[in-house]
Amino acid sequence: LIECTFPHVKFRDVVLSKENESSLKRIVLENRRRSTLLEHGVQATRRLLFFGPPGCGKTLTARVLATELGLPLMTVRFDALFSKYLGATATHLRSIFNEMSRRPAVYFFDEFDAIGKHRSDSIDVGEVKRVVTS
């Protein structure tokens, strides 16, 4: 379900707008100093949503974050996530979320729109609708 890699791409290896670079570096710093933040009752940013057209750098940015945080990049494999068996896809998804609490990493749901559909989407039927509910 998950492909584990250890990327070696740093901020200096990518071109980012000043605004995006500043935001991402702040998130890295927050996570490096997570224990200090917790002492003051503040949580570090732990979830990001990247959006944009193909080729704009979403996957590359996830690789940079993993490298800069010194964590593995866990990419969810959607070809293995979906199953023809009733409820199996939701079970796979639950397994991934359970793994997150056990293994620190950058978890990357590439092509999330494949499962992040609206419940009332009239085009989708079956398993995808059940996953959205889950």
pLDDT at 79: 72
The chain-wide mean pLDDT, for the chain, equals 85
Q: Quote the pTM value.
A: 0.79
Taking CA atoms, 45 is separated from 74, 76, 112, 126, 134, in Å, by 18, 20, 20, 34, 24
**Mean local confidence (pLDDT), 63-72:** 97
pLDDT in tens, 88-115: 778 888 888 898 989 999 999 887 766 5
